[in-house]
Chain A
Amino acid sequence: MLDQEWAIILARIQFAFTVSFHFIFPAFSIGLASFLAVLEGLWLKTGEGVYANLYRYWLKIFAVVFAMGVVSGIVMSYQFGTNWSVFSDKAGPVIGPLMAYEVLTAFFLEAGFLGVMLFGINKVGRKLHFVATLAVAVGTFVSAFWILSVNSWMQTPVGYEIGANGQFLPGDSWLTIIFNPSFPYRLVHTVLAAYLTTAFAVGAVGAFHLLQDRQNPGARKMFSMAMWMAAIVAPLQVVAGDFHGINTLEHQPTKVMAMEGHYDSHPDGAPLILFGIPNSKEKRVDYAIQIPKASSLILKHDLNAPLAGLDTIPDQDEPPVPIVFWSFRIMVGLGIGMVGIGLWSLFARARKRLYDWPWLHRAALVMGPSGFIAVLAGWVTTEVGRQPFTIYGVLRTVDSASPLDAPAVAVSLMAFVVVYFAIFGMGIWYIIKLMKKPPEAHEKPLDDAPIRSSGITPAMAVLEGSSS
């Protein structure tokens, strides 16, 4: 292979690696920030100490998650330029302003109020502190809004013209660009995914502690709240996902063909392939287990609707089918599992066994990481599925990269891999350590961090003073 081809492949691996690692953290912090805002709001409203305790408990975890999200996110804002400079030059006039709005309306908001949220309660009082928590929660959502608008525009580009210098230039309406055809669906699907991810992580922590002590009030409360989220949001997510899929069929049909494993066209009703082994060489799915006509039913809501296959697409425009096929099935499978846990929890609640059904708790514990895996699988589906383009149908990935020497990218990739596994591995271990401690009646920060406790304890004394 040519040096330039290697450089592009390495740059793609580097981007996939850094963005996947990064997204684990915001997927968690978007949901956690809202969860914390709800906890603090409920505490202010009811005065019940259990909410204050849970706030304290999850705030420590949030701080670690957020810090890792920030530092891994800064990497992303540079990587567009370091590794994808041709893309940046061309798409900058359109996506640059959207990302600038993300910084102006979200990053500063989160960062500006995070300090007060973490350390400031006894300096500003409870109401203002709640405002800070809300500001951080709103900031995480606004950030998702802008960056998903950028991503969606790259998937379904509209409202632009190509300038004489080869740049994508904005047309008359920024609203057309921001609210591009796939954006509303992707936004809803991703934000719900973040909430589900958090719900299952919180639910697993609650379940873990219920298995040790089913009387622990903090564990009961967090498990109950998480299971409500699972029961309500998981089915909503199925509906949102279906809408998103139909939207993708309309605008990026090739991606759906790869997701479905449809190498061939089906003029009178396409089958739903549940499992099978995509064989890219022979262009067929081996050992397929399929339901006749079900794919047409799901995508077209009509058993006999024709669906085109990859045989209608030129080879050089096809995404790598096996990756998309498998990642999609992982996501959907986990989603079905989440709906199952939600239904089980409703059943347990109806039978008043929510807190003393160890098998439910074990299942919820096992499903703890399911959100993270599903979110990553979903992103792999959508990002690999739009290959070989960075701007769908218009700019190819091979024409987007920086003019870098392969060794430079190889070295940086190795450095990222080593540092990310070491640093974020430690961080994740610290998070698990925090999660393993049961929520106590008078939740403190870390016993062995005197300065930090002076940071949070007086604040928490304020909370405790009125809650106990």
Chain B
Amino acid sequence: MIDLTVIWACIIGFAIIAYVVMDGFDLGIGILFPFFKAGKDRDTAMNSIAPVWDGNETWLVMGVGGLLAAFPLAYAIILPALYAPMIAMLLGLIFRGVAFEFRWRDPAHQAFWDKAFTTGSIIATFAQGVALGALLQGISVTGRAYSGGWWEWLSPFSLITGVGLLVGYALLGACWLNWKTEGGLQRQAVTYAGRLGIALLVMITIISLGTLTLEAKYYERWLSFPSIIATAQVPLASIIVTFLFYRSLSQKKDAQPFMWALALFGLCLVGLGVSIWPDIIPARVTIWEAAAPHRSQVFMLVGAAIMIPIILAYTAWSYWVFRGKVGAEGYH
């Protein structure tokens, strides 16, 4: 018999991947925004994501909504545990979300809204990274509730994962601009992508080694024999992907560096999965303990099985409509 709980864990995992793949690059553009020349370059960078950011961010709602629906206990424990980072993320997303509209509506204060766009993107990204770190290092759970204080999430490790995600999203943003823009802006993006790639590798290494020290379970999962034969493939694949990333960058490819950067992110998420599976709250609550009852799972699965392919189809169509290089003019 097929275990619907596992299927739902995969769907939530897919939503998280979809979110990182899609919203990662547009948050990254927000992070890099102040480094672009005010005026044409910033307008172009903004225009390259204006038609799609809203759809990208919907995956964040899908992730959290899906969590509530499929794993209500996990939703009820994780969100109070991550109270401060979650509120900060939401406020950051407000600033950057409205900046897309407001900077055109109020040219006199465009510089202000550009700063709001960057600040909001940085806060939202950093908070997401911190949230990941806080979950990995373990949160206090008693019975069916979070039992820690409101600063438990704060630790050197969670701050490092916050910085790591900033670097990662910035890399995706730079690669996206390399794909979608031309001229000086593209050259600038390529330079940043090259440097950010190295920075991300450093961060991934630190975070991976740090993770091993957090819980005995992670250590065993990765390094005990014979599982190491399988798990070692993840870092090996990461090295290969990194090589392909730099090769495509030096060959001045448009789309390929972005795809390889995404693949690197994908491998990080696979690594995350290796560490925590089958837990929904790492080292605390398993997916089966948190799962919604069978009837809820079945009802939603019908909707997800029909709707997710349709959503992916029209999302792809929307990206296709806005395909190609973005000019400062003639775009849209």
Interface residues of A (CB under 8 A from B): 63-64, 67-68, 70-75, 77-78, 80-83, 85-86, 88-97, 99-105, 107-116, 118-120, 122-124, 163, 165-167, 169-170, 174, 402-405, 407-408, 412, 415-416, 419, 423, 426-427, 430, 433-434, 445-446, 448-452, 454-456, 458-459
Using A96-B72, A170-B299, A404-B150 as known contacts, say yes or no to A78 and B79 having CB atoms under 8 A apart.
Answer: yes
- A120 and B329 form a contact (CB under 8 A): no
- B94 and A77 form a contact (CB under 8 A): no
What chain B residues lie within 8 Å of A104 (beta carbons)? Answer: 62, 303-304, 307-308, 311
What chain B residues lie within 8 Å of A113 (beta carbons)? Answer: 314, 318
Interface residues of B (CB under 8 A from A): 43-44, 46-47, 50-52, 54-55, 57-58, 60-62, 64-66, 68-70, 72-73, 75-80, 83-84, 86-87, 90-91, 93-95, 97-98, 100-102, 104-107, 144-147, 149-150, 292-293, 295-296, 299-300, 303-304, 307-308, 311, 314-315, 318, 321-322, 328-332
CB distance from B158 to the nearest CB of A (A): 17
Using A74-B57, A111-B55, A451-B47 as known contacts, say yes or no to A415 and B332 having CB atoms under 8 A apart.
Answer: no
- B95 and A119 form a contact (CB under 8 A): no
What chain A residues lie within 8 Å of B55 (beta carbons)? Answer: 108, 111-112, 114-115
What chain A residues lie within 8 Å of B98 (beta carbons)? Answer: 67-68, 71, 423, 426-427
What chain B residues lie within 8 Å of A92 (beta carbons)? Answer: 68-69, 72-73, 75-76, 292
What chain A residues lie within 8 Å of B79 (beta carbons)? Answer: 78, 81-82, 85, 88, 402
Q: How far is the CA of A80 from the CA of B90 in the complex (A)?
A: 13
Among A74, A445, A459, find the residue whose CB has the most chain B CB atoms closer than 10 A. A74
Sample of 30 A–B contacts (CB below 8 Å): A67-B100, A71-B94, A81-B78, A82-B80, A85-B146, A89-B75, A89-B144, A93-B293, A93-B295, A97-B69, A101-B303, A105-B307, A108-B58, A110-B54, A112-B315, A115-B50, A123-B321, A163-B293, A169-B296, A174-B299, A402-B83, A407-B150, A419-B91, A419-B94, A423-B98, A426-B98, A430-B102, A434-B105, A454-B328, A455-B50
- A97 and B322 form a contact (CB under 8 A): no
What chain A residues lie within 8 Å of B91 (beta carbons)? Answer: 415-416, 419
What chain A residues lie within 8 Å of B311 (beta carbons)? Answer: 104, 108, 112
CB distance from B202 to the nearest CB of A (A): 32
- A100 and B329 form a contact (CB under 8 A): no
CB distance from A65 to the nearest CB of B (A): 9
Q: Name which residue of chain A comes closest to B55, CB basis.
A: A111
What total of A-B pairs shows CB separation below 8 Å?
Answer: 269
Using A68-B98, A427-B102 as known contacts, say yes or no to A93 and B292 having CB atoms under 8 A apart.
Answer: yes
| Beyond known contacts A112-B55, A404-B80, A454-B331: 11 more, CB 8 A cutoff | A80-B75, A81-B79, A85-B77, A85-B146, A104-B311, A111-B54, A116-B321, A118-B51, A423-B95, A451-B44, A455-B331
Q: How far is the CA of A115 from the CA of B54 in the complex (A)?
A: 8
- A96 and B69 form a contact (CB under 8 A): yes
Contact of A82 among B46, B60, B83 (CB under 8 A): B83
Q: Name which residue of chain B comes closest to A14, CB basis.
A: B87
- B61 and A107 form a contact (CB under 8 A): yes
- B43 and A451 form a contact (CB under 8 A): yes
CB distance from A163 to the nearest CB of B (A): 7
What chain B residues lie within 8 Å of A423 (beta carbons)? Answer: 94-95, 98
- B54 and A70 form a contact (CB under 8 A): yes
Q: How far is the CA of A180 from the CA of B47 in the complex (A)?
A: 44
Q: Name which residue of chain A comes closest to B142, CB basis.
A: A403
Q: Name which residue of chain B comes closest to A121, CB basis.
A: B332
- A452 and B51 form a contact (CB under 8 A): no
Using A108-B58, A419-B94 as known contacts, say yes or no to A99 and B65 having CB atoms under 8 A apart.
Answer: yes
Q: Name which residue of chain B comes closest to A446, CB basis.
A: B104
What chain B residues lie within 8 Å of A427 (beta carbons)? Answer: 98, 101-102
What chain B residues lie within 8 Å of A165 (beta carbons)? Answer: 144
- B64 and A64 form a contact (CB under 8 A): no
Q: How far is the CA of A220 from the CA of B95 in the complex (A)?
A: 37
What chain B residues lie within 8 Å of A109 (beta carbons)? Answer: 314
Q: Name which residue of chain A comes closest to B146, CB basis.
A: A403
Q: How far is the CA of A92 from the CA of B328 in the complex (A)?
A: 46
- B102 and A454 form a contact (CB under 8 A): no
Using A102-B65, A408-B84, A459-B332 as known contacts, say yes or no to A112 and B322 having CB atoms under 8 A apart.
Answer: no
What chain B residues lie within 8 Å of A118 (beta carbons)? Answer: 50-51
Q: How far is the CA of A423 from the CA of B119 in the complex (A)?
A: 14
CB distance from B125 to the nearest CB of A (A): 15
Using A92-B69, A101-B300 as known contacts, say yes or no to A451 and B105 having CB atoms under 8 A apart.
Answer: no
Among B44, B72, B150, find the residue whose CB has the most chain A CB atoms closer than 10 A. B72
